[in-house]
Amino acid sequence: MARRIFLLGLDGGSWNVFDHLFAHGVMPNFQKLCSEGVKGTLESTTPPVTPVAWTSLMTGANPGKHGIFAFRKTRPDNSYLPVPVNRMDMEVPTVFDYYREDPGFVCLNLPMSFPATELAGCMVTGMMTPQGQTDRAAHPSDQLDRFAAAGIDYVIDPKLQESAGIDPQDLFDGWKEAPEKFIGRLTRITQSRMDAVRLLMKDRDWSVFICVVVGTDRLQHLLWDEILEDGSKPITAAVWDYYRHLDDRLGRLMSDLHPDDVLMLVSDHGFVKTHGSFQTNEWLRRQGWLKKREAKKSPLYPVKVLLNRLGITRASLGRVLSEGQSSKLQLMASHIDWAGSQAFLSGPFAIRINLMDRETLGCVDPKDYDRLVDDIIVALGELKDQDGRPMISSAVRGQDIYHGDAGGQPGDVVFTFRDDLNFTAYAAELGGDLFRTDIAKKGDHRIDGIFAAWGGGIRNLEEEVRFSICDILPTVMHLNGRAVPGVCDGKVALGITEDDHSPDIDSNWKRFARSREAVSYSRDQEAEINERLKALGYLSDD
Ligand SMILES: [Zn+2]
């Protein structure tokens, strides 16, 4: 039976947060949904970061097939100077291709869905959409105007600094002085998003509806400790109000759905308390695998000072230089001696070998690759806490976890910290402590996210289920009465419905593959997206 599916994505949704809020009566509708339907864990990608994970959700494929391994990808002319990724970088068809001709397909705010594509249904893009790109952010192109005409102040992806109403320069110091303002802004954005959902549910004869809320992720990064307190402090009460509003909208959504509709709740990754930042490049330097540029300051330092005085930034300088000139300048100005370095942090929790003939100034002979990868994995395993226990829960070869022919730049070594001793690994800076505890992030991602399903034909299961994020697209398509594309690594989540039957597999899925026009961001857009990623703590000044 073909059912309508509403897929509500909660970015960073995590049971350790929701169970705590359930216990305090903060999210009664969500709790009701879980107790009447199916509840379980959704296993994210490795690394469990937003663009990688949502891409696996929208393709049903592992990163080795879809080709997205981080927020950014390296450029052909300079493999140390990455640029932000978008949907056009994905190497297998996505939900937008499979549902292109279905007027009942609606998708709001899915991270990595930029640029909007011609389709019979409706879409508005999400995180990684450049500011001011409203023409490529929506299809039909006047969708944002339609929201405005209905009195909905729809915001695609707010800059954190905007949310807090403070100077971007003091984001992480400044926002703390006005957390209520920040929470209030995120609440209004979520309200408007759910108003837009309601409008489209009424206006359109929908069959698959996807909507993603990101306020959960933003709040958990910054207010982790406060969220998990008992509610007596004003700041905890204020942040719980966000979850209360979200739950209220979930309750309305549940009552707007027909009895045959399925409501599925998913997150791209879970969350956990983080203790600070692991300065991976500094660690590689101390291990002798990465070399700092000899001169105390780069040879371009005096030029940099002069340009700064004239108010010329790296981004504005980039506009007047050719790609080649600009990337050469970046290499010279880098604090890393690339030609003398064997390995470097290439993305979140990912170390890449500076391999000859692969990286711009690669110096590692391919015959030494295996030994070096093994040595790095062993050395990561030797990072110990005060009690002598290993801090890393896994350190593996990229080629052991990514399967497929995608290009892209997977880490040669990908590692994960223990859940109970989590550290982030996004920063590329050198010098200082190996473990920095003075970072603004108090919560960060973990692999275990959430899965819940409720509604038409969904069983009421006592025991908790466990699925992979790659299982979501096959499950949505199967419950929606479609065959599952053969390219998907994920499997249909059998066992959650009362009328289970084995799925049809579409081996002719290649007909959905579209030639991808390369959509690259302009230099300004690149700089702006990098700025946002920095504000979220995913990039450092390097
Ligand atoms: Zn996320």
* Ligand 1 geometric centre to CA of 296 (Å): 38
Average pLDDT over residues 310-339: 70
* Ligand 1 geometric centre to CA of 406 (Å): 22
**For tokens 């699925």, what's the residue?**
467
Over residues 155-176, the pLDDT tens digits come to: 887 665 444 444 443 344 445 6
* Ligand 1 geometric centre to CA of 451 (Å): 14
Supply the pLDDT for residue 163.
Answer: 45
Can the peptide bond before residue 115 be classed as cis, meaning omega within 30 degrees of 0? yes
Over residues 393-419, the pLDDT tens digits come to: 999 999 999 999 998 889 999 999 999
Supply the pLDDT for residue 75.
Answer: 78
Instruction: Count other Cβ atoms within 10 Å, centred on residue 297.
Output: 12
Phi, psi dihedral angles at 458 (to 5 degrees): -80, 130
Supply the pLDDT for residue 316.
Answer: 65
Q: What is the mean pLDDT of the chain?
A: 89
Instruction: Please give the residue that has the higher pLDDT: either 430 or 263.
Output: 263
Q: Which range has the worst mean pLDDT, 199-213, 326-340, 486-500?
A: 326-340
Please determine, for residue 466, whether its predicted confidence score (pLDDT) is greater than 80: yes
Query: Do β-strands 208-213 and 5-10 pair in parallel, antiparallel, or remain unpaired?
Result: parallel
* Ligand 1 geometric centre to CA of 12 (Å): 5
Supply the pLDDT for residue 500.
Answer: 82
Alpha-carbon span 287 to 279, nearest angstrom: 12
* Ligand 1 geometric centre to CA of 268 (Å): 5
Please determine, for residue 516, whether its predicted confidence score (pLDDT) is greater than 70: no
Alpha-carbon span 101 to 486, nearest angstrom: 19
Please determine, for residue 318, whether its predicted confidence score (pLDDT) is greater than 90: no
* Ligand 1 geometric centre to CA of 297 (Å): 36
Alpha-carbon span 252 to 370, nearest angstrom: 55
Q: Which range has the worst mean pLDDT, 74-88, 193-207, 460-474?
A: 74-88
* Ligand 1 geometric centre to CA of 269 (Å): 6
**Continuous segment of H or E residues that includes residue 138:** strand 138-139
Average pLDDT over residues 293-308: 67
